[in-house]
Chain A
Amino acid sequence: MPRLTVDDLKRIKEEYKAAFTLREGGQRAKITVHMGTCGIAAGARKIMEAIIDEINKNNIKDVIVTTSGCAGLCSKEPMATVEIINEAPVKYVLLNEEKIRKIFKEHVIEGKAAEEYALAVGSETAY
């Protein structure tokens, strides 16, 4: 890896910001599994495995799966966020394998949020 300069930093920021917001990354959806200690203890790894399994089974190429840390609401773990391009992200809570497979089918493939498992839609205000 090259050593970064201040300008590189700005460039990387712009590049990844693009990818980050899905639009220019050529991706249609992003699934974030929240994997802090709480989440993992509550079974986040199984959720992750189920998502990867669904992606492989359905031969899907335009969905990014990623992890992040604690989403903050430990009593509702495991949690995942599904973001479809041009739509507000939806946070799902208290997941299990069955639920995430259903969410995958309904929200990621068919594009309709699985209301019964959703906690909220939108992002938190960060300053």
Chain B
Amino acid sequence: MVKGNILAVDDEQIILRSCERILSPEGYKVDTATSAREGLDLLGKNNYDLIITDIKMPEMDGIEFMRQVRTKNPDINIVVITGYPSQESIKEALSLRIIDYLPKPFSPIHLLEVAGHAMELKKKGAAPEPHVEDYTDEVAAKLDAIIAKYKNKPGSLIPVLQESQELVGYLPRVVQRHIAKNLKIPVSEVHGVVSFYSFFTMKPKGKHNVRVCLGTACYVKGAEEIIKKLSGGLKVEVGGITADKSFSLETVRCLGACGLAPVVVVDKDTHGSVNPVKAMDLLKEYE
């Protein structure tokens, strides 16, 4: 299995070749580009989990390259390699949200560590993002309206996030940044709240959202079986979304409808006394 797709961009062939030599045997698929232009071309054609780029390059430099990457892939992981780190260039690179920095010359172990770290970030779901179509100008304007409503009220972050999630469906990082900027609080604080409460999600939801209650009464009556059946039937993990985006699967801590246990909620419909063996039948009417 391929561990991840990596794009390496550097005007020095030797760097590119050593990237390939170090990363390929470890299970990464590495594409190389000797210029920023070439890199952008490849980015247009393929999906990458990580970009490793030099800063000093002729024609278009790494900073400009990253800027252009960010317009299309605001959340792709980027690592910078450079032999001459200047305050200025690092500052710029940081503002473009690089995840790490590799000084030349780098050791194979260091490179592998950085790549491994990037894949981990991606797996955690922190990075895959955002579907640009979910953050249009129109959405941004609506977010501003929500924020304006609460702006001078203390303790308004949670209601703002709730309404924003209602609007967008989830809270991708770009939305969190937008909220942070306009409420004039650090992004870390916003993210801290988003990641703390189970109600908030950073992953998009399917056309139909399936929530399995994991309250004690439901557990006692076979909720775990239901999750297994649905997860197997939809071919999706808990917290995930099906390939065709039609269903997402979540668990929820007690809906308080214990009399109907086990309970599954699809969108806004509550289904009670669900037979675990037939759990998939529930979804038929939503297809």
C-alpha spacing A40/B257, complex, angstroms: 10
Among B256, B257, B259, the one with the most A-chain Cβ atoms within 10 Å of its Cβ is: B259
Whether the Cβ atoms of A41 and B256 lie closer than 8 Å is no
Inter-chain contact B272/A42, CB cutoff 8 Å: yes
CA gap between A33 and B209 in the complex, in Å: 29
Cα–Cα distance between A73 and B260 once the two chains are bound (Å): 11
B111 within 8 A of partner (CB): no
CB atoms of A37 and B272 under 8 A apart? no
A11 to chain B, nearest CB (A): 37
Question: How far is it, in angstroms, between the C-alpha of A75 and the C-alpha of B261 when the chains are bound?
Answer: 9
Number of A-B residue pairs having CB atoms within 8 Å of each other in the complex: 25
Contacts of A74 in B (CB 8 A): 257-260
Q: Which of B243-260 contact A (CB under 8 A)?
A: 255-260
Q: Please name the residue on chain B nearest to A72 by beta carbon.
A: B259
Task: Flag whether A38 is at the interface (Cβ < 8 A).
Answer: yes
A77 at the interface (CB under 8 A from B): yes
Q: How many residues of A contact B (CB 8 A)?
A: 9
A80 to chain B, nearest CB (A): 16
> Whole-angstrom distance between the alpha carbons of A40 and B259 in the complex?
12
Contact in complex: B263, A41 (CB < 8 Å): yes
**B260-A77 in contact (CB<8A):** yes
Q: Which residues of B contact A41 (CB under 8 A)?
A: 257, 260, 263, 270-272
Q: Please name all residues of chain A whose beta carbon is closer than 8 Å to the beta carbon of B263 when the two chains form the complex.
A: 41
Chain A proximity of B257: nearest CB distance (Å): 5
Given the complex, which residues of A lie within 8 Å of B256, measured CB to CB? 37
What 1/0 mask marks residues of chain A from 28 to 64 whose CB sits below 8 Å from any chain B CB?
0000000001101110000000000000000000000
A42 and B258 alpha carbons, distance in the complex (Å) = 12
Residues facing A in B220-264 (CB within 8 A) are 255-260, 263
Among A65-83, those with CB < 8 Å from B are 73-75, 77
Residues of chain A lying within 8 A (CB to CB) of residue B255: 37
21 A-B pairs with C-beta separation under 8 A: A37-B255, A37-B256, A37-B257, A37-B270, A38-B260, A40-B270, A41-B257, A41-B260, A41-B263, A41-B270, A41-B272, A42-B259, A42-B260, A42-B272, A73-B259, A74-B257, A74-B258, A74-B259, A74-B260, A77-B259, A77-B260
Interface residues, chain A, with chain B CB atoms under 8 Å away:
37-38, 40-42, 73-75, 77
